[in-house]
């Protein structure tokens, strides 16, 4: 099932809490949950529209956390992760399963950051509903205007947080 791939980690484990599970409070914002589910599914649909999907399905699809999810755990013991949610749509990309496994917990390279910024910028300029989710990600990170051209700066800020 495609949606389960959004929570798989290296070695077959999964993130401790999937975005669609209730944790703590039993109150949940259904609209927010629908938007998040829709946004994640739009990543898959968009990749199929761009012709990426066929090779991923044939070879095995994975969803890459461009900035590794494990960073939030790694910094958790050092005063907590102060950056944005790395399990959010802005940081997810469809990937070939073997390539994703080889990348493992490696930080993204400059070219990967450029492609992620280009992808997020293109989505924000598109008619896809996912653009609203990406704008909210930028706003919550302090980019109040949430302009498509803010993505390289946002990603650089996340990278600076990780390497400093």
User: How would you write the pLDDT of the chain (164 residues) with one tens digit per residue?
Assistant: 444 555 555 556 665 555 555 555 545 555 666 666 676 667 666 666 666 555 555 567 778 899 998 888 777 655 677 888 888 889 988 887 788 888 989 999 999 999 999 999 988 998 877 888 899 999 999 999 999 999 999 999 999 988 87
pLDDT at residue number 25 = 53
In whole angstroms, give the CA distance from residue 85 to residue 82. Answer: 9
Q: What is the full DSSP assignment across 24-48?
A: SSS---HHHHHHHHHHHHHHHHHHH
108: exposed, middle or buried (Cβ count in 10 Å: 0-12, 13-18, 19+): buried
What range defines the domain where residue 13 resides? 2-163
Report the pLDDT value the prediction gives residue 1, as an integer from 0 to 100. 40
Dihedral class, residue 88 (left if φ above 0, else alpha if ψ from -120 to 50, else beta): beta
What is the model's pLDDT at position 159?
A: 94
Query: How many other C-beta atoms are found inside a 10 Å radius of the C-beta of residue 18?
Result: 13
The pLDDT value recorded for residue 111 is 93
Determine contact, residues 85/40, Cβ cutoff 8 Å.
no
Total domains in the chain come to 1
Q: What pLDDT, on a 0 to 100 scale, did the predictor assign at position 2?
A: 46
Q: What is the pLDDT of residue 63?
A: 81
DSSP-assigned beta bridge partners for residue 60: none
């Amino acid at each position: 099932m495609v949606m389960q791939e959004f929570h798989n980690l290296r070695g077959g484990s999964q993130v401790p809490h999937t975005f669609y599970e209730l944790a703590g409070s039993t109150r949940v914002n259904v609209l927010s949950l629908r938007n998040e589910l829709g946004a994640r599914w739009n990543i898959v649909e968009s990749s199929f529209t761009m012709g990426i999907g066929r090779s991923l399905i044939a070879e095995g699809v994975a969803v890459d956390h461009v900035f590794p999810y494990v960073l939030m755990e790694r910094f958790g013991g050092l005063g907590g992760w102060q950056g944005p949610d790395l399990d959010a749509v802005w940081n997810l990309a469809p990937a070939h399963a073997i390539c994703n496994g080889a990348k493992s917990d490696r930080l993204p390279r400059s070219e990967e950051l450029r492609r992620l910024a280009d992808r997020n910028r293109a989505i924000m300029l598109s008619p896809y509903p996912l653009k609203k989710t990406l704008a909210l990600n930028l706003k919550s990170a302090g980019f109040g205007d949430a302009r498509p051209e803010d993505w390289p700066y946002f990603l650089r800020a996340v990278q600076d947080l990780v390497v400093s």
